[in-house]
């Protein structure tokens, strides 16, 4: 038997609305085949963004009912990657990822592997222990899926809350709960980089500090709803069948439209010199990207105020900016644009991946 991946993008009316996912099951998707669900929810994307946990709970309850299992059993098996923040014109949505078997011979196609780390102690978040455990999980996911070339690694990782800091048995990486999100994302991204040979080694001091160390395919999102890392590796494999393919590029800054065009072309779509034509957009299955304001406070020499705005968090600005550029390139607004790109692409930039039907 040959493995085949399915990726389906559906809308949500609010973070707890799983009706569109349930409709996929009603029309033939086997709930046992679901290995991951990615979601863009309309919260603030910060520490207290409980839209992520709300969406995870709603999904787990619905799937547990369909599977005749418990919520905990679903949560243990399915990677739930909720990314808060749909600023600008971004549309809340879910991306349902499933893997099944077919008798069709392998043709070379999209391949997906998942893996989970152990739960982290509070003092391990944002440190080498998280890097090393993530690297191990990434390697396991790649090996299990027989992936030939990796194009995107989505990681959901934990953060520190006041309660978790109080429970720590050793000093934590930071007592600033918001800063812990960046350190957790950064450590997870560097774990991807180590697994793929993009970075040779990492010290605790480099995490969140040395921007020259990064992965060109990592996308990491932190949340309160878990204490482990959940890893989803997207790539292509000669051993898989299907009509889906993935490609990626690395944006050098938030307005790097040519990089988005390169990812679209790599996946077999033709953006021409501007926006996808309707027939091309119909073949777009998903676009996933990271967004990050540059630490220099400039984009191509011009000053930006994303890091200086005390009213709106910088990552919210960045999601809106990159979301607008990606929407203009694709003609779509239900795009998985995730903020906070520490060690995920160069400073101010980030990876962008495209999954499309051939």
pLDDT band at 19 (very low <50, low <70, confident <90, very high): very high
Task: Give the whole-angstrom CA distance, residue 196 versus residue 338.
Answer: 21
- For residue 80, the cross-strand partners are 37
Contact 158, 52 (CB under 8 A): no
Q: pTM, whole model, 2 decimals? A: 0.96
pLDDT band at 176 (very low <50, low <70, confident <90, very high): very high
Domains contained in the chain, CATH given: 2-102 (3.30.1330.170), 109-234 (3.30.1330.180), 243-357 (3.30.1330.160)
At residue 273, the pLDDT reads 83
170, 180, 194: which is closest to 125 by C-alpha?
A: 180
pLDDT by residue (tens digit) across 300-309?
A: 999 999 999 9
Catalytic residue among 221, 237, 290, 294: 221
Length of the chain equals 358
Residue numbers in the known binding site for substrate are 52, 83-84, 185, 221-222, 319, 338-339
The answer, yes or no, to whether residue 114 has pLDDT greater than 90, is yes
Burial of 162 (0-12, 13-18, 19+ CB in 10 A): exposed
The answer, yes or no, to whether residue 269 has pLDDT greater than 90, is yes
**Catalytic residue status for 310:** no
pLDDT band at 201 (very low <50, low <70, confident <90, very high): confident
**Catalytic residue status for 237:** no
Question: pLDDT > 70: what percent of the chain?
Answer: 100
Burial of 27 (0-12, 13-18, 19+ CB in 10 A): exposed
Task: Give the whole-angstrom CA distance, residue 338 versus residue 323.
Answer: 9
Residue numbers in the known binding site for Mg(2+) are 292, 341, 344-346, 349
At residue 176, the 3 state secondary structure works out as coil
Catalytic residue among 156, 184, 290, 294: 156
What average pLDDT does the chain have?
Answer: 97
Tokens of 329: 């390139």
The answer, yes or no, to whether residue 17 has pLDDT greater than 90, is yes
């Amino acid at each position: 038997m040959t493995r085949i991946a399915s990726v389906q993008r559906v809308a949500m009316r609010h973070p707890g609305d799983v009706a569109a996912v349930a409709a996929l099951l009603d029309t033939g998707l086997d709930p046992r085949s679901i290995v991951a669900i990615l979601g863009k929810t309309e919260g603030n994307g910060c520490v207290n963004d409980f839209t992520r946990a709300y969406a995870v709970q709603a999904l787990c309850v619905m799937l547990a009912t369909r599977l005749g299992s418990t919520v905990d059993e679903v949560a243990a098996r399915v990677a739930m990657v909720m990314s808060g923040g749909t600023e600008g014109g971004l549309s809340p949505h879910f991306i349902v990822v499933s893997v099944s078997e077919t008798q069709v011979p392998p043709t070379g196609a999209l391949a997906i592997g998942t893996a989970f780390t152990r739960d982290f102690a509070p003092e391990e978040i944002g440190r080498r222990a998280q890097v090393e455990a993530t690297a191990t999980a990434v390697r396991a996911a790649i090996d299990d899926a027989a992936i030939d070339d990796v194009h995107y690694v989505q990681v959901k990782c934990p953060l520190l809350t006041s309660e978790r800091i109080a429970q720590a048995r050793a000093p934590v990486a930071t007592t600033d709960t918001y800063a812990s999100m960046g350190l957790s994302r950064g450590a997870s991204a560097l774990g991807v980089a180590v697994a793929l040979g993009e970075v040779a080694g990492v010290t605790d001091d480099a995490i969140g500090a040395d921007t020259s160390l990064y992965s060109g395919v990592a996308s990491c999102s932190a949340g309160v709803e878990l204490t482990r890392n959940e890893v989803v590796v997207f790539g292509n494999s000669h051993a898989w069948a299907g009509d889906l393919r993935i490609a990626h590029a690395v944006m050098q800054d938030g307005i790097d439209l040519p990089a988005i065009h390169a990812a679209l072309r790599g996946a077999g779509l033709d953006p021409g010199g501007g926006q996808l034509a309707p027939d091309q957009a119909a073949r777009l299955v998903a676009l996933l990207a990271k967004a990050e304001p540059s630490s220099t406070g400039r984009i191509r020499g011009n000053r930006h105020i994303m890091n200086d705005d005390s009213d709106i968090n910088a990552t919210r600005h960045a999601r809106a900016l990159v979301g607008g550029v990606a929407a203009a390139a694709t003609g779509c607004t239900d795009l998985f644009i995730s903020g906070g790109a520490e060690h995920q692409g160069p400073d101010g930039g980030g990876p962008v991946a495209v999954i499309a039907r051939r």
